[in-house]
Amino acid sequence: MADQPTPLERFIQGILPENPVYRQLLGLCPTLAVTNSMKAAVTMAAAVAFVLLCANMVTSLIRNLLKPHLRIVVFTLTIATFVTIADRLLAAYMYQMSKTLGPYIPLIIVNCLIICRCEVCASKQPVFTAISDAAGQSLGYGLALASVAGVREILGTGMFFGFRVLPATWPDWAVMVLPPGAFITLGLLLGAVNWYSGRGAK
């Protein structure tokens, strides 16, 4: 098992080298949908982190009981349980934000990122490795969401987390908070990250 990454390596890998959005292209639906404002993006990242950590932990604990044919169904049902918990917690304690995020919280269930981490890492590794992998991936996911949301919110409304950062004379680029802006922002940022990663490889 010497070629398997250590837990610390997995944690660091998840942040940029194997960033879920920019390198693996997983979990793009929430990245485009909730990144109108930083607050929504950070809340979504926190929800995904909660679900990913809990699902990885549970999957790792039951990894020896999984039958090969049924494992995806078992992962999905576990994730659905934790997403229900997260959704109800959010609706109870942050009702306005829950309304803003709308249907995208339950859509965490089919977020490819979580199923992929369960399949690739948690179902084969002990608990601590799975937890550090989940922590790294969710940190990377949060960074990705925050980067897109930062660009969209600053250019689209001149605010950052609700605080005005651009002068009031800034003509808000309304397209940034609408669907086309989401696609174009993510596309350009993805190109930038590809360029940066490709530079080192030459």
Partner 1 sequence: MNYFIDIMLIAIGAALINNFIFYYFVGICPFIGVSRNVDMAFGMGCAVTFVMSIAAFVSWTITSLVLIPGAPISSYIGAFFMTAENAQKIDLTILSYIIYIFVIASSVQFVEMYVRKFFPSLYKSFGVFLPLITTNCAILFACLTIMSHVSGVENPADAWDLGRALSLAFFGGVGFTIAIVVMAGIREELDLCDIPKPFKGAAITLVVGGILAFAFMGFTGVNSGLRKALTFDEPAAQVEQDESAKDRGSQGRINEMPAELVAGEKVLKLNARTSVR
What residues make contact with partner 1 under the rule CB under 8 A? Answer: 25-26, 28-29, 32-34, 36-37, 40, 72-73, 76-77, 80-81, 83-84, 87-88, 96, 99-103, 106-107, 109-112, 115, 156-157, 171-172, 174, 176-184, 186-188, 190-192, 194-195, 198
Closer by beta carbon to partner 1, 113 or else 139: 113
- Identify any residues that bridge with 85 across adjacent strands, giving them in sequence order: none
Closer by beta carbon to partner 1, 3 or else 200: 200
How near is the Cβ of 38 to partner 1 at its closest, in Å?
Answer: 10
Closer by beta carbon to partner 1, 83 or else 130: 83
Closer by beta carbon to partner 1, 11 or else 152: 152
How near is the Cβ of 20 to partner 1 at its closest, in Å?
Answer: 12
Cβ atoms of residues 84 and 50 within 8 Å: no
How near is the Cβ of 1 to partner 1 at its closest, in Å?
Answer: 28
Instruction: Supply 177's token pair.
Output: 């908070």
Q: For the chain, count helices (H), then strands (E).
A: 8, 2
Cβ atoms of residues 14 and 136 within 8 Å: yes
How near is the Cβ of 5 to partner 1 at its closest, in Å?
Answer: 25
How near is the Cβ of 81 to partner 1 at its closest, in Å?
Answer: 7
How near is the Cβ of 42 to partner 1 at its closest, in Å?
Answer: 13
List all residues 6 or more positions away from 64 whose beta carbon is below 8 Å from its beta carbon: none
Cβ atoms of residues 36 and 149 within 8 Å: yes
Q: Number of C-alpha atoms within 13 angstroms, CB side, residue 197?
A: 12
Cβ atoms of residues 146 and 45 within 8 Å: yes
Distance CA 87, CA 115 (A): 18
Closer by beta carbon to partner 1, 99 or else 164: 99
Cβ atoms of residues 115 and 72 within 8 Å: yes
Closer by beta carbon to partner 1, 3 or else 171: 171
CA nearest neighbour of 57 among 75, 80, 83: 75
